[in-house]
Structure 1
């Protein structure tokens, strides 16, 4: 299901970095995100809601672009 918030995402399992590419074009890296959380994000009905309620409050992040 397309998201109005998330354009795409990439997960780097070796470093546990989840890179979120937002619809706005901004890119953020979220650190130490376990694979099971990424899987739940992948299958979430609403990527934006999952991002705002689970990922953003739980993991440190850095703006890439």
Structure 2
């Protein structure tokens, strides 16, 4: 069998490699910011719900 080499990638030039790495870095930083924002929103909501639950339980205990 002969090997089909038509799908092989051409090697990247140093400039292309730098551009690719810079784009990956920017995407990774954006993903980290998005993740941190989602985590912050989750924990803020969790604390809010916990406070509401504790307030309901305290009100129910008084009655």
TM over 0.5: no
User: Of Structure 1 and Structure 2, which has the larger fraction of its residues in strand?
Assistant: 1
* Structure with the larger RCO, 1 or 2 (CA within 8 Å, 6+ apart): 1
Give the shorter-chain TM-score range: under 0.3
Q: Give TM-score scaled by structure 1 length.
A: 0.22
Q: Give TM-score scaled by structure 2 length.
A: 0.23
